Amino acid sequence: MQIVLNGEPVAVADGSSVADLVGVLGLQGQRVAVELNGDIVSRSRWTEMRLKDGDHAEIVRAIGGG
């Protein structure tokens, strides 16, 4: 199925969760925020939130510096 990730079309496996997407992108264990269709998804819900064809996701990563 196709979703839009950070403004770009991306193919993901049917039945993928937000956690699966974060994992495929190699971002597990990192400080990231996920928005799905305009709503922030708390980390505790990543496993249960299933992606659907046409969903719009934004993932941003926190980068520290000084």
* Residue ranges covered by each domain of the chain: 2-61
Which pLDDT value is given to residue 66? 62
CATH topology for 2-61? Ubiquitin-like (UB roll) (3.10.20)
Which pLDDT value is given to residue 13? 97
Which pLDDT value is given to residue 23? 96
pLDDT digits (tens, 9 = 90+) for 4-50: 999 999 999 999 999 999 999 999 999 999 999 999 999 999 999 99
Say if pTM beats, i.e. exceeds, 0.75: yes
Task: Say whether pLDDT at 64 is over 80.
Answer: no
> How far is residue 62 from each of residues 24, 33, 39, 43, measured CA to CA in Å?
18, 8, 18, 14
Longest CA–CA span in the chain (Å) reads 41
